[in-house]
């Protein structure tokens, strides 16, 4: 392994491009580069399409702007910035349209990388959301630098395609470079950017924290696009260029190391980052299983049968802040029965209890020669506990889902499972695919996603770590036609409540927004047998979705730690759908097969 440098002086640029005027924009960039070089900057990131402006439109001569102004990687603009890179010993990354050979009507949305040795590289945006002038790129790009490999990802590639950043992190990248022109949720008329801030921070913070990788993001600021007769432009960008570090600090799991999402003033923010803080721990864990994810994407690429049309569009979901009686199945069954009846009386169609609600979650190391609590109390599915709850589900005419330790009747293996009981009295199960921490001392990994059909369509099940750290699973469910995902969880806040609330809320809202899912999440509350009084489970059970600009809570609150069941009003699923543009499961399968080969090597 190469001995990479850890300390990097990096700059990210808020830039207000003059639409359609490359000469003016290049001149502005020259000044920004000179100022950054004076501050010792070694890598400077400009926004997406900053050389031309972002918005679509026609030049005064009638030509469509982006194809008309596009250049090749050996064009005059590239030569100009390559000279500056060599002069200042600086990587300069900037966005502009790139010519397509033999096709004057189209261009690539490209990031050009001017290298300190005077060379030039380039990356094509893989998932263009731009109008029909833009062609998509074909694959990932890793830039080799003295500070280690860095992954290229332009705007929507970053915010909507977790498969790409997962590939980069697994390949050892410590930084994702994100030239962007992002204004989703920014009100052009009023300048209100609260919706944009929610979207921008949820997506970038989740990437940095989940994958343990730095994200450098450079965004446009100010008006953009061809002005009308009154001088009004079709777009207004909020800036927010920043470098996000995965290092824990203060009340969050990430740090805004350079720049800020709040800053809209034009210019470069320059500062030093310590890339040794990029740990990417997950990709070294045994539970990281790229061969599984590759199989899921290959299945999606092959085409799945469309799910049966939903019979109903409104569903009422109930989630329980469940105060477990640790190690006492009978008390927990009685509590679940009581709360299920309460929820049914309030009109709930499905009642969700937390992970391992049957027994409690906490693992206590057994004395030598003895079994741990989870092994002692584990049952088969079906078994006595599920038979009892299945009879209740049939009596109430409701779905009931709860977590329990399962013993496989044939192999004797143990699993952290969710039991799913139907109004017809049927019993089904999902086995947690990614058990973490002490769970690995008593249970094995499951290996299959699980969806079940209901009158409201398909519903997927994902337990705790499967939800927060495995975007591949929620993506599989959404792309398969699920509109609801259940998350029985035992998520522990530890001492720092602020960190837990941020982590829990940002993860769930990001998934709901990105994949177009309604999420029901049920968590344990109270001590659950933990012998340390400063540690307890925080509840926070919720039913949530997302709009364009915010998370929407249909039941519960992440700050609510009171025991009891929370029932939503009617949740309208008619507009809940998976709509990722340029979704390419065949490409993602290829990326995961590459990860598989490298992990096994």
pLDDT for 275-290, tens place per residue? 999 999 999 999 999 9
* Model confidence band, residue 547 (pLDDT cutoffs 50, 70, 90): very high
Q: What separation in angstroms does the CA of 357 have from each of 321, 328, 404, 489, 524?
A: 10, 10, 6, 9, 8
Asked if 534 and 502 touch (Cβ cutoff 8 Å), the reply is: no
pTM listed for this prediction: 0.96
CA-derived radius of gyration, the chain: 26
Q: Identify the pLDDT of residue 28.
A: 98
Which range (53-67, 97-111, 244-258, 299-313) has the least confidence? 244-258
Q: Is the pLDDT of residue 248 over 80?
A: no
DSSP 160: H
d(CA 273, CA 214): 9
**Cα–Cα distance, 114 to 119 (Å, whole number):** 6
Superfamily, domain 311-595: Carbon-nitrogen hydrolase (3.60.110.10)
The residue-averaged pLDDT of 454-462 equals 98
76 catalytically annotated:
no
Q: What is the pLDDT of residue 100?
A: 97
Give me the phi and psi of 277, to 5 degrees please.
Answer: -75, -10
Label each residue of 61-118 as H, E or C.
Answer: CCCEHHHHHCECCCCHHHHHHHHHHHHHCCEEEEEEEEEECCEEEEEEEEEEEECCCC
pLDDT at residue 545 in the model: 97
Query: Is the per-residue pLDDT at 342 higher than 80?
Result: yes
- Name 76's Cβ contacts closer than 8 Å, sequence gap at least 6: none
CATH topology classification for 7-283:
Nitrilase/N-carbamoyl-D-aminoacid amidohydrolase (3.60.110)
pLDDT of 531 reads 85
477-497 per-position pLDDT tens digit:
999 999 999 999 999 887 677
User: What is the overall mean pLDDT for the chain?
Assistant: 95
What totals of helices (H) and strands (E) does the chain contain, helices first? 14, 31
Average pLDDT over residues 555-577: 96
* Interval 115-172: pLDDT, tens: 999 999 999 999 999 989 999 999 999 999 999 999 999 999 999 999 999 999 999 9
Give the pLDDT confidence score for residue 250 in this predicted structure.
Answer: 58
Catalytic residue list contains 395? no
- Cβ(243)–Cβ(258) under 8 Å? yes
Is pLDDT above 60 for 587? yes
Task: Supply the pLDDT for residue 189.
Answer: 77
pLDDT at 249 over 90: no
User: How confident is the model at residue 601, as a pLDDT?
Assistant: 76
- Tokens 């809209």 belong to residue: 264
**In the predicted model, what is the mean pLDDT of residues 523-532?**
91
Please tell me which residue in 464, 493, 525, 596 is annotated as part of the active site. Answer: 464
Q: Which of 277, 339, 355, 509 is catalytic?
A: 355
Contact 573, 314 (CB under 8 A): yes
pLDDT per position as a tens digit, 414-454? 999 999 999 999 999 999 999 999 999 999 999 999 999 99
Over residues 166-195, mean pLDDT: 93
Buried b (16+ CB within 10 A) or exposed e, 308-336: eebeebebbbbbbbbbbbbbbbeebbebb
Percent of the chain at pLDDT exceeding 70 = 99
What is the model's pLDDT at position 8? 98
**What is the rounded average pLDDT of the residues 578-591?**
96
Share of the chain above pLDDT 90, in %: 91
Q: What would the two tokens of residue 355 be?
A: 């992970």
Q: What is the pLDDT of residue 180?
A: 98
| Secondary structure in 3-state letters for 508-559 | HHHHHHHHCCEEEEEEEEECCCCCCCCCCEECCCEEEEECCCCEEEEEECCC
* Known catalytic residue at 582: no
Q: Tell me the mean pLDDT in the region 467-473.
A: 97
Which whole-number Å values give the CA distances from 196 to 45, 186, 305, 518, 574, in the listed order?
A: 21, 5, 36, 21, 25
Q: Burial code of 217-228, b = ≥16 C-beta within 10 A, e = fewer?
A: bbbbbbbbbbee
> Which run of H or E residues covers position 156?
helix 156-160
Every domain range in the chain assigned CATH 3.60.110.10: 7-283, 311-595
The token pair that represents 579 in the structure block = 């709509």
pLDDT tens readout for residues 374-387? 999 999 999 999 99
The reported pLDDT for the residue numbered 1 is 52
Residue among 99, 407, 429, 432 flagged as catalytic:
432
What per-residue confidence (pLDDT) applies to 55? 96
Lowest mean pLDDT among 62-76, 230-244, 247-261, 307-321: 247-261
pLDDT at 251: 57
């Amino acid at each position: 392994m190469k001995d990479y440098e850890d300390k990097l002086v990096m700059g990210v640029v808020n830039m207000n491009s003059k639409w359609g005027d490359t000469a003016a924009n290049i001149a502005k960039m020259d000044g920004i580069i000179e100022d950054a070089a004076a501050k010792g900057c070694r890598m400077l990131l400009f926004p997406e399409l900053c050389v031309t402006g972002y918005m679509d439109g026609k030049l005064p001569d009638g030509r469509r702007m982006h194809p008309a102004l596009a250049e090749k990687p050996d064009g005059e603009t590239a030569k100009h910035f390559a000279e500056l890179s060599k002069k200042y010993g600086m990587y300069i990354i900037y966005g502009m349209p790139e010519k397509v050979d033999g096709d004057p009507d189209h261009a690539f949305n490209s990031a050009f990388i001017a290298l300190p040795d005077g060379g030039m590289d380039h990356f094509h945006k893989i998932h263009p959301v731009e109008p029909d002038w833009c062609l998509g790129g074909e694959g990932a790009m890793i830039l080799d630098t003295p500070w280690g490999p860095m992954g290229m990802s332009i705007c929507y590639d970053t915010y909507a395609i977790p498969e790409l950043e997962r590939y980069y992190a697994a390949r050892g990248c410590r930084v994702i470079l994100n030239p962007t022109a992002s204004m989703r949720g920014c009100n052009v008329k009023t300048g209100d950017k609260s919706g944009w801030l929610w979207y921008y921070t949820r997506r970038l913070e989740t990437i940095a924290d989940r994958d343990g990788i730095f994200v450098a993001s450079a965004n446009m600021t100010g008006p953009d696009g061809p002005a009308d007769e009154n001088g009004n432009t079709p777009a207004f960008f909020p800036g927010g260029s920043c470098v996000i570090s995965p290092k824990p600090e203060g009340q969050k799991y990430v740090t805004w190391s350079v720049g800020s999402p709040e800053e809209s003033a034009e210019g470069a923010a320059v500062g030093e980052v310590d890339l040794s803080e990029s740990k990417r721990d997950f990709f070294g864990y045994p539970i990281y299983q790229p061969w599984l994810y590759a199989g899921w994407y290959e299945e999606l690429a092959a085409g799945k049968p469309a799910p049966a049309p939903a019979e109903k569009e409104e569903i009422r979901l109930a989630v329980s802040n469940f105060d477990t009686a640790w190690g006492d199945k009978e008390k927990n069954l009685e509590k679940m029965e009581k709360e299920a009846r309460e929820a049914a009386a309030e009109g709930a169609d499905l009642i969700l209890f937390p992970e391992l609600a049957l027994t409690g979650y906490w693992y206590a190391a057994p004395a030598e020669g003895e079994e741990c609590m989870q092994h002692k109390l584990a049952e088969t599915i079906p078994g006595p506990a599920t038979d009892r709850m299945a009879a209740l589900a049939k009596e109430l005419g409701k779905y009931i889902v709860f977590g329990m330790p399962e013993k496989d009747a044939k192999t004797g293996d143990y699993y952290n499972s969710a039991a799913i009981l139907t109004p017809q009295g049927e019993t089904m199960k999902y086995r947690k695919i990614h058990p973490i921490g002490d769970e690995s001392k008593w249970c094995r990994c499951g290996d299959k996603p699980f969806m079940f059909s209901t009158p409201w369509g398909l519903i997927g099940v994902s337990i705790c770590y499967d939800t927060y750290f495995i975007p591949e699973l929620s993506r599989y469910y959404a792309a398969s036609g699920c509109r609801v995902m259940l998350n029985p969880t035992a998520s522990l806040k530890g001492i720092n409540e602020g960190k837990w609330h941020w982590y829990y809320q940002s993860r769930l809202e990001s998934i709901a927004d990105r994949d177009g899912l309604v999420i029901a999440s049920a968590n344990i509350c109270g001590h659950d047998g933990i012998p340390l009084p400063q540690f307890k489970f925080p509840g926070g059970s919720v039913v949530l979705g997302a709009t364009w600009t915010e998370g929407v809570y249909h039941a519960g609150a992440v700050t609510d730690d009171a025991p009891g069941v929370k029932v939503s009003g009617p949740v309208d699923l008619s507009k809940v759908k998976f709509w990722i543009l340029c979704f390419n499961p065949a490409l993602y399968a290829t990326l995961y097969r590459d990860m598989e080969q490298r992990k096994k090597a």
